[in-house]
Amino acid sequence: MSPERYQRIRTMLAKRQTDLTVCLENVHKPHNVSAVVRTCDAVGIHRVHTVWEQKYKLPGGTAMGSQQWVRQSNHDTIGDALSHLKSKGMQVLVTHLSDTAVDFRSIDYTKPTAILFGQEKYGATDEAIAMADQDIVIPMLGMVQSLNVSVAAALVLYEAQRQRDIVGMYDQQQLSEQACQEFLFEGGYPRLSRMCKQKGIAYPPIDDSGQIAADESWWQQMQLSPKAMAALKADESS
């Protein structure tokens, strides 16, 4: 990894927001999912959460846009997802037109926040709306009553980014060094990262110049085939 790429990744990681996230409920069109994840990357979101009922599951191998730089957590149900987010102390907002909905710009996004976007045609489920802390809307003056989900996500997320930038939240690193090291290795050495996953080998540390700081035993393990590595681990555990 070149020093320039190392510094670029480090700069990105230093601005990642661990207490701002998006939850996609049954958003199933690949281009929409990819567009939302790309916006998440652009505003510094570290992790997105997804829930897909069986009929909405994405085809295997479907890319999630900037997934290399944005972590994903998938949940079996929307109840599981929102309970998890609330356990992290996050306010849960849902884009939903109701009598209690407020303009999305009136929300304080400097608080730990999760923003829920529902399925393209039908929106968020009743369960999701009931569990959310606040309904939000994007004011619209034309004949249509909704925007494409990826457009709506971009508008809300950039308002969150604007507020957080004003108070300096992008000036303080939130990610742990361990998480940064994982991103640095995967982003700087993607082929070796894939090999580590195949063989079950722990990632090595990355030094301040972007180079792998591994001992000889790590390099020796990397030379082994996955089968030989599995046999070695079996011998060590016996």
* DSSP one-letter code for 141: -
- Tell whether 78 is in a known binding site: no
Give the tokens for residue 142.
């034309």
DSSP 77-100: SHHHHHHHHHHTT-EEEEE---TT
Selection from 152, 14, 46 nearest residue 94 by Cα:
152
| 205 strand-pairing partners | none
Length of the chain: 238
Give the tokens for residue 212.
């792998």
- Tell whether 138 is in a known binding site: yes
Residues 6 or more apart from 118 whose CB is under 8 A from it? 25, 26, 27, 94, 95, 96, 124, 125, 128, 149
Please compute, for residue 45, the number of CA atoms within 13 A of its CA located in the half-sphere on the CB side: 33
Annotated binding site for S-adenosyl-L-methionine, which residues?
A: 95, 138, 147
Binding annotation: 95, 138, 147
